[in-house]
Structure 1
Amino acid sequence: MARYTCSFIIAVPLERLQQVLIEVLESCNFDIIYNTGDYLMAREIPGHVSFAKLVTVEVLIDKSTATEQEVRMNFVIKNEELPLQVDNHCHQMFHQVQQAIAQNRHWQLVESVAG
């Protein structure tokens, strides 16, 4: 199973975070399948790759340390594909999500840590 993690601190009003995050994931070809307010799960829309390569994104929004202007988000991006190549489909989607978050004009990226 391919699995990539990263953490972001974003400068954005907390009340706008959910909508902007959903828009970012949808722009990366993900469909939101579960949303509780502090946890979000999205799955890649089928049709471009085999079922085993479909990527799932889990986002944990750390509201316990959030301020009115900054919030930490932890991402897990994974699929059932064995990561036999460095540049596998899951890694490509991981990179796409990282870029979309870093370049979004609705917030400011304060810190990014990939694990």
Structure 2
Amino acid sequence: MARYTCSFILSVPTDQLQASLVELLQDCQLDVQYYTSDYILAREFIGSVPISKLVTVEILIDKTRHNDTETRMSIVIKNEELPLQRDNHCRQIFEYVKQAIENCRYWHLIESIAG
């Protein structure tokens, strides 16, 4: 199973972050299937790639350690594909979503740590 993670610290109020993230994921051609105030689940659309390569994106917003100016969040991007090549489909989607988050106009990126 391919799995990539990244943590971010953003300068954005927590109450504005969720709606902006849902829009960002939809702009990345992902189907947002579930969301709460601190969790978002999105997937690639069925039919776009083989089933084993379908990517799932999970975003966790840390509400325990936020303040008025900074919000922490983590993303986990995974699929059932074995990561036999460094540039696999899951890695490509990870890099695409990570870049979209880092360059989004709705917030200021303070820190990004890929794991």
Short-chain TM bin:
over 0.9
Q: Show the counterpart of 2:27.
A: 27
In the alignment, the residues of structure 1 paired with residue 28 and residue 85 of structure 2 have an alpha-carbon distance, to the nearest angstrom, of 22
> What are the superposed Cα offsets for residues 30-80 of structure 1, whole Å, 9 maximum, x if unpaired?
111111211111111122211110100111100010112211011110000
Q: Show the counterpart of 2:97.
A: 97
In the alignment, the residues of structure 2 paired with residue 38 and residue 101 of structure 1 have an alpha-carbon distance, to the nearest angstrom, of 16
In the alignment, the residues of structure 1 paired with residue 29 and residue 81 of structure 2 have an alpha-carbon distance, to the nearest angstrom, of 18
Deviation for aligned residue 1:92:
0.1
RMSD of equivalent CA atoms = 0.8
Q: How does 1:17-96 map to 2 (within 5 A)?
A: 17-96=17-96
The runs of at least 4 consecutive aligned structure 1 residues that moved more than 4 Å come to none
In the alignment, the residues of structure 2 paired with residue 68 and residue 30 of structure 1 have an alpha-carbon distance, to the nearest angstrom, of 29
Q: Show the counterpart of 1:5.
A: 5
Q: Aligned AA for 1:3?
A: R
- Ranges in structure 1 where 5+ consecutive residues have no aligned partner: none
> What are the superposed Cα offsets for residues 1-53 of structure 1, whole Å, 9 maximum, x if unpaired?
00001000111122210111111111111111111211111111122211110
Q: Percent identity?
A: 58
Q: Aligned AA for 1:20?
A: S
How many pairs are equivalent? 115
In the alignment, the residues of structure 2 paired with residue 69 and residue 112 of structure 1 have an alpha-carbon distance, to the nearest angstrom, of 16
TM-score, with structure 1 as normaliser: 0.96
After superposing the two structures, state which structure 1 stretch, 30-39 or 72-81, moved more. 30-39
Q: Aligned AA for 1:68?
A: D
